[in-house]
Amino acid sequence: MKNILITGGAGFIGSHVVRLFVNSYPDYHIYNLDVLTYAGNLENLKDIEDKPNYTFIKADICDHEKMESIFSDYNIDGVIHLAAESHVDRSIKDPFSFAKTNVLGTLNLLQAAKTYWGGDFENKLFYHVSTDEVYGTLGESGFFTENTAYDPHSPYSASKASSDHFVRSFYDTYNLPVVISNCSNNYGSHQFPEKLIPLFINNICNNKPLPVYGKGENVRDWLFVNDHARAIDVIFHKGKIGETYNIGGFNEWKNIDLIKVIIKTVDKLLGRPEGASEELITFVTDRAGHDYRYAIDSSKLKNELGWEPSLQFEEGIEKTVKWYLENKAWVDNVTSGNYLKYYQDMYGE
């Protein structure tokens, strides 16, 4: 494979994947396709934008004709599909955009790949990046495995589950070479400050309330974003066609305990007395349909492909908090919409 199309590469996880591939594989050409929604920001990729093996394409995965022409214009032979609407709270307010981008957008890409590759699937791969939220919720014990039945509860997870089913259907029906991974919650640099960790870091810095849904007892399994990017690299190169791989950190935290770690880390780095910002914690109405617990068993990925998370959580959180404190301008730009100017200045649109 030579020409790799990475969709959603200007977003949080996508930008880490694009950087990893551009830097690690000078023989590949990486095409980053992104429509630049509120969550896509080319400033995330400033450090690699001039590399000879990198091209940005502004396009909407919902544009069927455009997707077909991109495959032939750039002779695409590998896809890593991350573009999506990704925030559960937004999906509760506007489920239609999630069905459009996550389901129809994915179907457009599948169809474009199938048409362009025309049944010659030698050295071709369609890699679909998905979430553990498709499996629904766990009780106090147990883990999601690759065999757990799908049981999504939010419009976000329902749309991702539907896209996963379409991807598998293209393998079963047309032999399209696909692979899917389902990952737990990611954290790290460049995440839009609407998700729990960056939102709370930002609010602590600005002395704003920290809205904890319900009693803060929900559990998530957190993985450092660079470890997710590494897993995607391993699965892209060594994964078995038609298979699913779960990716997780074996790193479960109750929201309220995680929030206290974030507070402690931010207070320490800002030179505030330990725990000073705990007074910002504000319990608010629970999220509708709030899944209680996610926990991933990623032993298949470890045993078959040799991937493991590399970072201890405390270290990852400290790195993440430091990044947000040192990049206040990035946070201001993405929350004000000014980041769009970066694209306009660069591409003259």
The residues binding ligand NAD (CB under 6 A) are: 7-8, 10-14, 34-37, 39-40, 60-62, 82-86, 101, 105, 129, 131, 160, 183, 185-186, 192
Binds 88, which of ligand NAD, ligand TYD, none (CB < 5 to 8 A, cut-off by type)? ligand TYD
Query: Between residues 111 and 335, which has the closer beta carbon with respect to ligand TYD?
Result: 335
Instruction: Give the residue closest to ligand NAD by C-beta.
Output: 11
- CA quadruple 148, 152, 156, 162: dihedral, nearest 10: 70
CB 223 within 8 A of CB 183: yes
Q: Work out the number of other CB atoms within 10 angstroms of the CB of residue 342.
A: 16
- Residue 189: CB partners within 8 Å, gap ≥ 6? 225, 319, 320, 323, 324, 327
Residue 39: its H or E element = none
| 156, 294, 324, 339: the active-site residue | 156
Q: Write down the least CB distance from residue 22 to ligand NAD, Å.
A: 16
Question: Does residue 190 belong to the site contacting ligand TYD (CB under 6 A)?
Answer: no
Residue 308 tokens, joined = 């493991």
Token look-up 């460049």 returns: 190
| 43, 133, 164, 297: the active-site residue | 133
| 43, 60, 85, 132: the active-site residue | 132
Binds 10, which of ligand NAD, ligand TYD, none (CB < 5 to 8 A, cut-off by type)? ligand NAD
- Residue span 255-284 as binding mask against ligand TYD, x where in contact by CB under 6 A, dash where not: x-----------------------------
| Number of helical H runs and strand E runs in the chain | 13, 12
Q: Which residue type occupies 25?
A: Y
133 counts as catalytic: yes
Binds 199, which of ligand NAD, ligand TYD, none (CB < 5 to 8 A, cut-off by type)? ligand TYD
Q: Write down the least CB distance from residue 13 to ligand NAD, Å.
A: 4
Q: Is the dihedral angle over the CA atoms 17, 14, 195, 347 positive or is it negative?
A: positive
The binder of ligand TYD chosen from 1, 199, 305, 311 (CB under 6 A): 199
Binds 277, which of ligand TYD, ligand NAD, none (CB < 5 to 8 A, cut-off by type)? none
Which residues does residue 32 pair with via DSSP β-bridges, in sequence order? 6, 56
324 counts as catalytic: no
Give the count of alpha carbons within 13 A of 116, CB side only: 25
- Supply the DSSP string of 248-281, one letter for each residue: --S-EEEHHHHHHHHHHHHHHHHTPPTTGGGGGE
Q: Are strands 210-213 and 281-284 parallel, antiparallel or unpaired?
A: parallel
Tell me which residues in 287-326 interact with ligand TYD (CB under 6 A). 287
Query: Between residues 157 and 277, which has the closer beta carbon with respect to ligand NAD?
Result: 157
Question: Does residue 95 belong to the site contacting ligand TYD (CB under 6 A)?
Answer: no
Residue 133 backbone dihedrals phi, psi, to 5 degrees: -70, -15
Binds 218, which of ligand NAD, ligand TYD, none (CB < 5 to 8 A, cut-off by type)? ligand TYD
The binder of ligand TYD chosen from 212, 225, 231, 331 (CB under 6 A): 212
Q: For the chain, how many residues are written?
A: 349
Mapped onto helix, strand or coil, the DSSP state of residue 319 is helix
- Site for ligand TYD, rule CB under 6 A: 88, 185, 195-196, 199, 211-213, 218, 220, 255, 287
So which residues are the catalytic ones? 132-133, 156
